[in-house]
Amino acid sequence: MNLKKIGLFALAMIMTLFSFQPHSLAAPVDEYIWTEKSPMPTGRFGMGSLVYDDKIYVYGGSGSGGRTAIFEMYDPKTNQWEQLSSSSISRYLVQFVEHQDKFYAIGGVGTSDATNVVEEYDPFSNQWTNKQPMPTPRYNVGAISIGDYIYTFGGYGIKNTFTDVVEVFNTKTNSWDTKNSMPVKTSETIPFKINNSIYVLAYTKPGETPSIYNYNPAQDTWTHIAEMPSEVTLPRNVIVYNEKVFFPSDKNLFYYDLKSKNLIKYPAAPLNKAIHNFEIINNRLYAMGEFPNLDSFLELNLSDLVNPNPDPDPDPNPTGNALLVIYMDSGLIKEFEMTNEEIRTFTEWYEDRAKGNGREAYIVNKKYNIGPFNSRKDFISYSHIESFEVQEYSR
């Protein structure tokens, strides 16, 4: 949806997007059980987390030793953790967001109260850089990347005051701008994207049922969408994945099907413990940082939900080659000879990125003119792709 051209029809579409009608799965099934995975090396709660390149990155938080700046990465393929460079400040209840292949740690609780510190992490150099501080110190602040900006919404301010502040960070100019305030003051916000439109789950009081608002960044306006049904118990994250909007919590797991417009309860075993973060990678939901086991790291297989009718006879060894031709907005044309599997990986990344998921750049390992180098990589930015086509496909 082009936010710059949003009108009454588009507004009506937004208003009907969330027509909450709670359902259960049609056929009765046993509860799906969580599986214990390799525990977090640093047990903690109140940490920031994000998914990038099919890995989970966990930053900051508070554990047995108090606030921390420790930064770790989990690889689901190996079920192993790796420690990365720590940042310069220990904090918890921090917001952590990926933007154009960089990670940003925003706000949180520092030495004694809300902080305005912003740090940027480069996953390629494994280094942190201090950026322009957020104008309003906040924790439990919601942040989301869209276009060239990072939008921040509400959360607690100094001395635990509720805020309705909306501030936008321009990473290219390293500067902040203030936008129209939220309609309500909040203790916590969880923003998420659907078709490049921003929605915000807003908690106006801790422990009470939140509401959903739509924010139009082009017009800098707010629209109340719906109250979250009471059946959905205090979501800790909102994750848009495979045409579904997941609302995970420690008590239950609901998801909203964007096609059927039904709110459905998934029969996952309740955790019955305070879980702070949830993430999804490759059809698996991960829960981390429970009480009292702060190093807990659990996995729930969602394959039957996101892929209920898999190909009964997939080709395990695809063959053939193709020429991938990418037309960039600069007029440049890039050509890459790829295998069937490489083409499939690229198109899956492109489709995911079109939905607002995945990393901004696709990395192509060049197989020609390597010369004296060990390898050559081409970084293809999604936002600069006009179109692409596949040619000379053979089997």
CA gap 9, 2 in Å, rounded:
12
CB atoms < 10 A from the CB of 56, how many? 22
- The CATH architecture one would assign to domain 34-304 is 6 Propeller (2.120)
Condensed to tens digits (0 to 9), the pLDDT of residues 23-53 reads: 554 444 567 889 999 999 999 999 999 999 9
Average the pLDDT over 247-271 and give the result.
90
CA gap 62, 108 in Å, rounded:
11
Average the pLDDT over 237-260 and give the result.
91
Encoded tokens for 365: 């390992």
Q: Domain segments of the chain: what residues?
A: 34-304, 322-392
Average the pLDDT over 171-183 and give the result.
98
CA gap 229, 99 in Å, rounded:
31
Higher pLDDT, 334 or 171: 171
Which DSSP letter does residue 268 get? Answer: B
Find out whether 156 and 163 touch, Cβ atoms under 8 Å: yes
H or E stretch at 362? strand 361-366
Q: Which 3 state secondary structure label does DSSP give 35?
A: strand
Quickly state the pLDDT bin for 244 (edges 50, 70, 90). Answer: very high
Quickly state the pLDDT bin for 12 (edges 50, 70, 90). Answer: very low
Residue 280: burial class (beta carbons within 10 Å; 0-12, 13-18, 19+)? buried
Condensed to tens digits (0 to 9), the pLDDT of residues 344-367 reads: 888 888 888 887 777 888 888 866
What is the pTM assigned to this prediction? 0.75
To the nearest 10°, the Cα dihedral for 230, 231, 234, 239? Answer: -120
- The candidate with the shortest Cα–Cα distance to 381, out of 352, 356, 359, is 359
